[in-house]
Amino acid sequence: HAEDELSRSSHSNPGKSLVNGIKTNPASNSPKSSFTVPVGPPVYVDLAYIPNHCSGKNTDPEFFKRVRASYYVVSGNDAANGEPSRAVLDALLEGKSQWGENLQVTLIPTHDTEVTREWYQQTHEKQQELNIMVLASSSTVVMQDESFPACKIEF
């Protein structure tokens, strides 16, 4: 019965669709979704890949408030497209500052870029205050008894 109702509502209202059970308006020209994310507890993970190669189009402080990782991978290496985005790296600082707990976070850039170098130098004191460590692109990561260069962490 519910499936029939869902099918009828989507056919009778073609301007709206469901994404993960939430009505959205695909006609919106905003790069971010037009619905509000329901309030809920943060999600804790070991490793999180910052979406869209650390592009500012889809990642904001809310991402870092809600997705709390021990390790964040920054894979952007396209300055022409704003990847990685300085705004996203700043959003990490803003989001983490609101965690209320000082858990260790490691940022793993997979490329050595001017944006990440400048951000690292300009915000180093804030990173230390928030217990954020940034690996150099030449760093080695050890996971599950295997050792490999940080730049190899790709999805």
Residue 147 has, within 13 A of its CA and on its CB side, a CA count of 3
Give the predicted TM-score (pTM) of the model.
Answer: 0.66
Q: Where are the domains of the chain?
A: 41-147
User: Per-residue pLDDT for the chain (155 aa), expressed as one digit of tens each?
Assistant: 444 444 444 444 444 444 334 444 444 444 444 445 567 899 999 999 887 767 677 788 898 999 999 999 888 777 676 668 899 999 999 999 999 888 999 998 888 888 888 999 999 999 999 999 998 766 666 777 887 666 555 54
CB 141 within 8 A of CB 108: yes
Question: Distances in Å between the alpha carbon of 68 and those of 22, 57, 77, 98, 144?
Answer: 23, 20, 23, 11, 21
| Structure tokens given for 98 | 């609101």
pLDDT value, residue 5: 43
Instruction: Specify the DSSP element, H or E, that contains 10.
Output: helix 2-12
